[in-house]
Amino acid sequence: MPPLRIPLRLTLIIFSLAAGISGIMAQECTYLVFSDEFNYQGEPNSEHWNYETGGGGWGNNELQTYTNSRDNSYVSNGTLKIHARKSSTGAWTSARMVTSGKASWKYGKFEIRAKLPHGVGTWPAIWMMPQNSVYGSWPKSGEIDIMEHVGYDPGIIHGSVHTEAFNHKDGTQKSGSVEVPDAQLQFHVYSIEWTPDEIKWFVDGEEYFSFSNLHISYKEWPFDQPFFLILNIAIGGDWGGAQGIDPDLEEAIMEIDYVRVYKTSLPDFNINGPSLVQNGEEVTYFVPPIEGISYEWSFPEGVDIISGGANNKITVQWGNRPGSVQCKMISGCEEKTGTPLSVDLKVIPDAAPFVLSALKDDGSSAWEVPEQSIENNFSLQSDGNVVRVNFSISDPAANPRITLPIGFTADFEEFRNVRVALKILDGDAPGVMRFDFIDSDGRVNTADLFKISDPVRNNHFHIYGHRFIGSSSSWNMHEITEVRLYVNYGITGRNGEGTFVLGDIQMAPDGFFVEPVVPDSEKFVLNLNTGIDGWQVSEPLSEQIALSGGGSLHITYSGIEASENNYIKINFPNPVDLHAFGQINVEFAPGGDFPGRMKIGLIDENGILNENDLFVVSDFSFVDQNENILTYGFGNVDDGGEFLPCRISEIRIWLDSDEGTSGNVDFSISDITFSEHDFGSGIFNELHYRSIRIWPNPVKEYIFFEQNNEWFDRWQIYNLSGKIVSGGTLNNFQEKIRLPGLSSGLYFLKLSNNQGNVHIGKFFVK
């Protein structure tokens, strides 16, 4: 039967050899891992070839200048032409084409079919250099010359290696030669076979030289690293011009029919394509093409394949999460998985505010504690919608910190304004804090830092903000991957232990965040002289409650059922910073039929109400009957979340929301004023009082306290308006009382005796 013919370009070639009389067949695979057949026209394939350009002799006193011009390199009629030309001034140009940066290989079979140029002074070469000179500059990292030819010695082909131990500079070069009389007239195949132990040189399949690995050191054998291919024609030089240059020579052309690289096993390979993508972006990934094998791709969940999938190139639409791209080559002999490509998700905010959450989806802290000095410790705990941070700092110079990995790459170029909610709790308040936004190269703009010195400490959240200048030469705001929070760091840091709470970080473009109104006097007055302007009635009561003006806010209604929707409110055009104005004073007009119960609350710009801190009025007994003022101190009860007293946007008054009313209500509010804390004239005018510790706080069924060996016989409870709401006597050793029925709010416990000793402590009722 006729012999089996295997096409020349078939990339998976299976050779079967008889293994003795047993008839057992051994199988070997060979793969074409790179080829350029030059079956196109014009510019050489830019996916395969780069150019090394310039003059200066190239270390060998050569005369030509290498260019990337089509005058010196082009593809036509099925072959690549490297064309050296002499100009009218006698200057030579040529081309030096390389696969560096495109492809490199360690071991394999390399075949180049070429026809060499004529002319004394020409020096064509097909050779290889290391992709990375890991052992040092030439010749330490090696050189492999597959084919060299000099024009003054036509018909002689040379193959050689250069190493630190063996090179022509030292006269120790290892090389071989073979006669090929028609090398300048006909195409011949110049090849090497390179293994870990040996390199062999061939012309048209006939071996003429070999170089063995002595297994001593890199000085003899640096050929355990990837090398790339080079095709060029030099003019003149130490070797090519050793017998001069033909003065009549005007040009020289080397033609290459094909370049092919084979390996006997599937190659190690990397996945090429973008490592930073956006949600919904269409992207393409590819690996080296090897015909005759299949490719198996895998992507993170949510990535949709658009085209490809079984070949070396695939186009996908990326999803909404980062992950890795993986590819496996599969042949009839083996499988090989490439190095996975880690792909990060790039997010460009399209709506403000863009939130970096303090918590993960499972409710745990998104902030982390990296390894650092053992003298500095942090513990993180999620608490509702925020993260509670306990810290102990003994080594500020070690820059104690916690980190917030974003989980993707964020482009904040247009979202330069940052706000963070921060609340200082127990212990030592940090003296200095700093939020660093870290880019993908681990850099921060040290000239533009978000720094907080001596943050406000009053058990409530405060907003801290900063506007970044933007990207700089040493920092890229287009690619932010992490936030670091330094606490008591550097020379201004201080030792201490304490607790603070972090809310979400918000990013926004210029003009989005509205700065709060900060009162510029000791009081903030909600002016009611304009009557009902700005006040609104909740929808369910819009037909039952009447508001009228005339120097006060006049409120009349009757017969409403209990509901949390029974309220009137006023909204501020801009948020108001009331964190330093914690006392509210409400002045009522003399006389009137008051509601059975009324509540007043503050609501921040995010619509958050501290439900544990309401001014509740269940009877209208005034401290001063001439002024008709009731007073309450906001801000003494933990907000339990992210309430922002520094950004109040609404005041809401609930009317009989708990009990409703069957009668008529007719009263007026003359004035509402916010001021600094002043807890009335009744309790804090006591002289020589001491504070007393009360627990639990907020109290439950009993109020526990310590008498501190100063035994008391009387107790009294005051509300914030200074009115006594309950009282009784104490036995000598009694240190608890049952909590009387009290509404939610802040109260004061006064203990006293006949000797004039007074102890006072505050407690909360939820």
List the catalytic residues.
Answer: 143, 148
For strands 615-617 and 694-695, give the pairing.
unpaired
Report CA 704 to chain centroid distance, whole Å: 50
Of 81, 213, 202, residue with least CA distance to 147: 202
CA distance 365 to 663: 52
43 Cβ contact partners less than 8 Å away, ≥ 6 residues apart: 70, 74, 75
CA distance 710 to 704: 16
CA distance 734 to 731: 5
Give the count of beta carbons closer than 10 Å to the beta carbon of residue 379: 13
Of 371, 391, 392, 372, residue with least CA distance to 380: 391
Give the count of beta carbons closer than 10 Å to the beta carbon of residue 216: 9
Own/partner pairs, 127-133, CB within 8 angstroms, 24+ separation: 127/229, 127/230, 128/227, 128/228, 128/229, 128/230, 129/100, 129/227, 129/228, 129/230, 130/222, 130/225, 130/226, 130/227, 130/228, 131/100, 131/104, 131/225, 131/226, 131/227, 131/228, 132/225, 132/226
3 Cβ contact partners less than 8 Å away, ≥ 6 residues apart: none
Burial bucket for residue 201 (CB in 10 Å: 0-12, 13-18, 19+):
buried
Burial 91-120 (b: 16+ CB within 10 A, else e): ebbbbbbbbbeebbbbbbbbbbbbbbbebb
Contact by Cβ (8 Å): 450, 435: yes
501 Cβ contact partners less than 8 Å away, ≥ 6 residues apart: 383, 386, 387, 388, 389, 422, 423, 425, 461
3-class SS of residue 82: strand
* Region of residue 496 (left: phi > 0; alpha: psi -120 to 50; beta: else): left
Give the count of beta carbons closer than 10 Å to the beta carbon of residue 365: 21
CA distance 188 to 191: 10
Report CA 640 to chain centroid distance, whole Å: 30
- Please give the span between the terminal C-alpha atoms of the chain, in angstroms, as a whole number: 100
Sign of CA dihedral 517, 520, 525, 531: negative
- What is the residue type of 302? G
- What is the residue type of 634? F
CA distance 95 to 253: 10
Six token digits for residue 612: 């544990």
Six token digits for residue 209: 């030289």
Angle (CA) 291-340-408 rounded to 5° is 135
Sheet hosting strand 648-655, strand order edge to edge: 535-537, 567-576, 648-655, 598-604, 615-617
